[in-house]
Amino acid sequence: MLIKKSEDIKSSEITPQELYLNRRQFMLSASVTAVSAGAALAGFDLFRGASQALAAEQISNLKKSSYSTSEKQNSFKDITNYNNFYELGPDKEDPAANAKYLTPIRPWTVAVEGEVKKPKTYDIDALTKLSPLEERVYRLRCVEAWSMVIPWIGFPLNTLIKLAEPTGNAKFIQFVTLHDPKRMPGQKLPIMEWPYVEGLRMDEAMHPLTILSVGLYGQVLPPQNGAPIRVVVPWKYGFKSIKSIVKIRFVEKQPPASWNMMQPQEYGFYSNVNPEVDHPRWTQATERRIGEFLRRKTLMFNGYGDQVAQLYSGMDLKKFY
């Protein structure tokens, strides 16, 4: 996410920032400038080198999914060392360097609550056994105009939703990340309001492409990718794919979502990948696949239009960006 200018975006693509700085952004920029200074106080290391290798638990007997892309996958190194996870630091290398703080990840529970007939708090290991785990190779398109192809391991979110039996009032779902500054030292910094929250409309959450992921590349999810469980919604900008969740709340009204709350003129609630709607400060028409030199064209709905376009029929996607 862009609190500060990404190195991925050419300066020619960026509209002069002063045109867009409102008071809120100004405060945000100021707080990020203070991040480096605050990092030491927060007790974690920024701007460090490569991550330490953590012993990884393998996941076997994976079903292959027909939703997978056959495009070339990014390397495990790319996927685990170039991350956005502000709870583990604001730079791309920070989450890997600070992965060691997000431990232990057992016990871990996920509470399913709100407008449901069967609210329940699941232990993570029971949750993982609700449905056979699949490998889903998805494109992930970050709002910062870079992308990767990632072999996620997970299961459809709709499995859990059906078990919860939503009431007729359940129109949206809100997801909440763990709030624990000891394990997530970035939460000691005033970068955003903690915990990170995100939301989906009910039909988006029910869509078979939307998964809860517990692993990647044949092994359990590394901390920097959102251990032990995260959401993955492949047709939306990456920030909708919230990491390390502890709560799934069914609600009647559109719930608050972190980036949308902070900078609503830049990050909409829907945030469907859309090459026709530019971010106020840069184009969304092209992207840089991590590991490639030339930029490629961004596809509507990140290339998943055949499956998801009907969810938005009749909606003005320039208004509901």
Cα–Cα dist 187/185, whole Å: 5
C-alpha pair distances (Å), 83 with each of 50, 88, 92, 121, 160: 13, 10, 5, 29, 27
Closest-CA residue to 235 (of 304, 313, 151): 304
Piece of the chain touching ligand MTE by CB under 6 A; list 21-29, 81-89, 280-288, 309-317: 81-89
Nearer to ligand MTE, 65 or 84 (CB): 84
Size of the site for ligand MTE (CB under 6 A): 18
Binding mask 216-245 for ligand MTE (x = CB under 6 A): ---------xx-----------xx-xxxx-
Cα–Cα–Cα angle for 197, 201, 203, rounded to 5 degrees: 140
Minimum CB separation from ligand MTE for residue 272, in Å?
15
CB of 148 to ligand MTE, least distance (A): 6
Q: What is the dihedral sign for C-alpha 295, 300, 302, 307?
A: negative
CB of 238 to ligand MTE, least distance (A): 3
Nearer to ligand MTE, 76 or 163 (CB): 76
Q: Please state, in angstroms and rounded to a whole number, the distance separating the CA atoms of residues 117 and 34.
A: 45
Using the rule CB under 6 A, is 140 a contact of ligand MTE? Answer: yes
Query: Which residue type does 192 have?
Result: M
Residue 213 DSSP code: E
* Using rule CB under 6 A, residue 85 touches ligand MTE: yes
Q: Is 142 in the site for ligand MTE (CB under 6 A)?
A: yes
138 binds ligand MTE (CB under 6 A): no
CB of 199 to ligand MTE, least distance (A): 13
Binder to ligand MTE among 6, 65, 174, 177 (CB under 6 A)? 177
Q: How far is the CB of 117 from ligand MTE (least distance, A)?
A: 28
> Which DSSP category does 71 fall into?
S
- Name every residue whose Cβ is closer than 8 Å to that of residue 1 and which is 6 or more positions away in sequence: 84, 86, 142, 143, 144, 239, 259
* Residue 103, phi-psi category: left (phi > 0), alpha (psi -120 to 50), beta (remainder): beta
- Contact segment (CB under 6 A) with ligand MTE among 56-64, 82-90, 281-289, 308-316 equals 82-90
196 binds ligand MTE (CB under 6 A): yes
Residue 303 binds to ligand MTE (criterion: CB under 6 A): no
* Measured distance CA(244)–CA(5) in Å, rounded: 26
Give residues in contact with ligand MTE (CB under 6 A): 1, 83-87, 140, 142, 177, 196, 225-226, 238-239, 241-244
